Structure 1
Amino acid sequence: MKEGNVAFIIHTLSNGGAERIMSYLTQNYSTAENKYLIVYHRSEVEYDFSGELISLDIAPSNNVFGKILNYLKRIYKLRRLKDELNIKKSISMLDSPNIINILSKRKDKVIISLRNHKSKEYSGLKKLIYRKIIKFLYNKADKIIAISKGVADDLIENFKLDKTKINIIYNPVDKIKIQSLMHEKIIEEHILNEFKKNKIVINSGRLSYQKGQWHLIKVFKKIAENNNGVKLAILGKGELEQELKELVKSLGLSEKVIFLGYQENPFKYIYKSDIFVLSSLYEGFGNVIVESMACRVPVISTDCKSGPKEILSSENLRNYDEDKINYLDYGVLVPCFKDEKINYDSELSNEEEYLYKAIIDMLDDSNKIEYYKINGEKRLDDFSLIKIVSKWEEL
């Protein structure tokens, strides 16, 4: 039975985990009479989607008053669209689209999705402002979707959101599509040669504070000193790119670390790697973990809030210790880094030492690598597109 017209609202459909999930959702959502993808700018649509594309087309602004005015314009435009298109359900992802979705409510059911561990996401004045906004506005939504239990607990405990409105829906993984893309050839000959000649430890994500890549680079210094045939590959771009490249240079790792930049198809690089490492300080879910599992690559992750532990473990955790290396059913967890500031000291912290040991143990144990390749792929059944999208359709 069709449920009427559904709007999917996000600022852009390119270069991001939430954006990729919205792409999957629009393509596989089957109970809508008509689907409308509403974005801020038509030019920023790179992922595939299904439905009619509508752009709010409001030029960005760099000053505070301009940003506020843009919010008001987007709310006004979206409110008119909801009336004109007879929208019955509006699904939004990320803070700005969530805010305009709530404030443009008409007769539609407003569903917002929170993609990160919000209490860790911001700092300073921005943290104070968003904390107030979340507490005041988000309870006005009809449904609040948290992408992990950790995110849900954070929203209830730290933002006092109504737990009766919160549903936990994990991110889906398009296993078939990923396993098709991962077999594409790496066309850059010099990079292909590096992947053929060396064992590759790979990381993928925005080059930002949240993703903690400087910890992995510091750890890799010790790995490179004792293991000549191992290289680190880093996928992504971001505000810390130049700083991370300078760190690599200062540690004498220029020949050992490969910066791959943003890649439209990251899976062909992950698939040809030996280990995937998530070095994040916090997450909402950790899409790239399940994507690496789909690429049949074993995963080592920090035990950050939230997501990795839920993905890599079964429900019944035995002998789990957050201060040690945990070899779980579907991957390996190491203690999360405790320092709040970027620290480039050459001496490794206890947490960095644990990450070093976990990587070395995995590189030296082919049986362990094979075990996590097989078990990781089994875990994907819990995140299948059919299973996850049906939960969205039931809201």
Structure 2
Amino acid sequence: MKKIKVLFFIYEMGAGGAARTMLNIINNLDRTQFEPVLVTLNYNGSYEDDLKSDITFIKLDTKRLRSAIFPLAKVIRNEHADIVFSTIPNYNTIAILARLLSFTSAKSVIREAAYLGGNFSMDMKLRAYGLLYRLSSKVIALSNGVKDNVVKRYNVNPRKIQVIYNPVDVDGIQRQIDNGKIAEEHQAIFKSKGKVIITAGRLVKDKDHHTLLCALAQLNNRLNAKLVILGEGELETPLKIKAEELNIADKVHFFGFQRNPYIYFKHADLFALSSLHEGFGHVLAEALATGTPVVSTNSRPGAAEVLNDGEFGVMCEVGNAEDMAAKLYETLTMTNEQLMQMVDRGKERAREFDAKTIAKQYEDTFIQTIGWSDRS
């Protein structure tokens, strides 16, 4: 039986959520039906070592996204790809153009992960993306809210869009917890007195760490708590300055990017997410999988969908430090019985996003896209 060759295109297999999603899909595809090919620009990404050995991995001889169109078209042609899969608007446009210029019968399947738009200039840009998205065979939205946004702001036909949640490698997360160890220089933070709150994500405006710092300052008026921040980004220095202004610099610890964040999650008392908006909230699902209680802003559409409006974690208002501080305190002072109930519900929820389950949904979509309905 001929296998379906899926060419996955991404900028690099770096530390971001898009690369982690790509990794989980590729590694979990059924090799009896699919042959994956991964193509990136000429960068070394932190997740490359986690790729399964049977994956054909090609790096284009360029570091510029715009310069990738013709080289990518050549790879599509030479690899005889059946499907070209990509994610994130800028990369999707390159992948669609490359597929067109490959002059092959390959189909484009693109994934929209972000909840974008809201002002005139951005909405016009999204309409432009939408013109290209209409040339794809299928658009995958990672939540119902993202789907609605693609219909509204990109002007894409809803019949072309399918919702598939982000894959979470639940078993892999548990293995990393079982075999992992917190870096020696960080262990004292988790062993010292006081509650440990942890968060993870890029240090950018959309993640709104500013509100989380303000909430921490208020929380410390009631109980002793520390904040561990995993991630890198342009706002690290401003956030450190803000912590100084709030007199909590000694309680805020920036640990940067960690290859195994899950061992950190597991040893924390609580995971907090302060985002302004989330397309899905992948890190929330991962935190649930580690068995760590979660407090998150009601960042729509993603966080609200992952936590089902508070069924699987505590939710607070976006940008409201006072409300966040109250919810952090409420969660950190729960009884053991209440915490265990929350943890058990969270783990059950995380299983719904298990990578094997989600990969099967991608497999079905790929098969439907190229019209190979009978694979028996």
Alignment check: 8 A CA contact 1:7 1:37 kept: yes
2:61, 2:334 → 1: CA distance?
A: 53
Secondary structure of 2:265's match?
helix
The offset of 1:285, in angstroms, is 0.4
The match for 1:288 among 283, 287, 292 is 283
Which range moved further: 359-368 or 40-49? 40-49
Q: Residue 18 of structure 2: SS of its match in structure 1?
A: helix
CA–CA distance in 1 between the matches of 2:78 and 2:46?
A: 23
Offset, 1:45:
5.0
Summarize the alignment of residues 138-157 of structure 1 with structure 2, pairs less than 5 Å apart.
138-157=133-152
The residue type equivalent to 2:311 in the other structure is D
Letter of the structure 1 residue corresponding to residue 42 of structure 2: H
Query: Contact 2:279–2:302 at 8 Å: present in 1 too?
Result: yes
Q: What SS does structure 2 have at the residue aligned with 1:383?
A: coil
Q: What are the residue-to-residue correspondences of 1:75-224 with 2, within 5 Å?
A: 75-105=69-99, 106-119=104-117, 127=122, 130-183=125-178, 184-189=180-185, 191-197=186-192, 198-224=194-220
- Counterpart of 1:262 (choices 244, 254, 257) is 257
Per-residue deviation, 1:182: 2.0
Corresponding residue for residue 318 of structure 2: 336
Give TM-score, length-normalised by structure 1: 0.86
**Aligned counterpart, 2:17:** 17
What's the TM-score, normalizing by structure 2? 0.90
Residue 322 of structure 1 is matched in structure 2 by: none
Helix, strand or coil: the match of 1:18?
Answer: helix
Q: Choose which of 358, 365, 373 in structure 1 pairs with 2:343.
A: 373
Does the 8 A contact of 2:19 with 2:47 survive in 1?
no
Task: Note if contact 1:42-1:54 (Cα within 8 Å) is conserved in structure 2.
Answer: no
CA contact (8 A) 2:23 2:47 kept: no
Q: 1:43 to 1:112 in 2, by over 3 A?
A: same
Q: Distance in 2 between matches of 1:91 and 1:382?
A: 23
Contact 1:300 1:331 survives alignment (8 Å): yes
Distance 1:332 1:38 in 2: 39
Report the residue type matching 1:298 in the other structure. Answer: P
Task: Give CA-to-partner distance per residue, 1:231-274, whole Å, 9 cap, x none.
Answer: 11111110111100110111111111111111111111111001
Using the TM superposition, give the Cα deviation of residue 2 of structure 1 relative to its aligned residue in structure 2, in angstroms.
4.6
For 1:351-395, what per-residue CA distance to the aligned partner results, in whole angstroms no more than 9, with x for missing partners?
222111111011111233222111100112211122110111111
The residue identity in structure 2 corresponding to 1:59 is K
Looking at structure 2, the residues matched to 233 and 42 of structure 1 have their Cα atoms a distance apart, in angstroms, of: 29
Give the residue type in structure 1 aligned to 2:117. S
- Counterpart mapping for 1:49-68 below 5 A: 49-50=51-52, 51-60=55-64
- Which of 266, 274, 277 is residue 272 of structure 2 equivalent to? 277
- How far apart, CA to CA, are the structure 1 residues paired with 2:206 and 2:23? 24
Deviations 1:96-125 (A, max 9, x none): 2211111122311100001110225xx785
1:38-95 deviations in Å (ceiling 9; x for gaps) = 00124235342231111112134xxxxxxxxx52x31111111111111001111112
5+ residue gaps in structure 1? 61-69, 314-325, 338-350
Q: Which amino acid aligns with 2:15?
A: N
Aligned length in residues: 354
SS at match of 1:34: strand
Q: 1:3–1:88: 8 Å Cα contact kept in structure 2? A: no
Change (3 A) 1:128 1:170: closer
CA distance, structure 1, for counterparts of residue 82 and residue 359 of structure 2: 18
- Kindly provide the amino acid, as one letter, of the partner of residue 22 in structure 1: M
> What stretches of structure 1 move > 6 A for 4+ residues in a row?
none
Report the AA paired with residue 137 of structure 1. L
CA distance in 1 between partners of 2:152 and 2:69 (Å): 29
How far did 1:129 drift?
Answer: 5.9
Which one-letter code corresponds to 1:331 in the other structure? G
Structure 2 counterpart SS, 1:296? coil
What is aligned with 2:352?
Answer: 382
- What secondary structure sits across from 2:207 in the alignment? coil
Q: Match for residue 67 of structure 1?
A: none
Map 1:307-322 to 2 at 5 A. 307-313=302-308
Cα contact 1:300–1:332 (8 A) shared by 2: yes
Counterpart Cα distance in 2 of 1:276 and 1:387 = 25
Between the aligned partners of 1:35 and 1:149, the Cα distance in structure 2 is 27
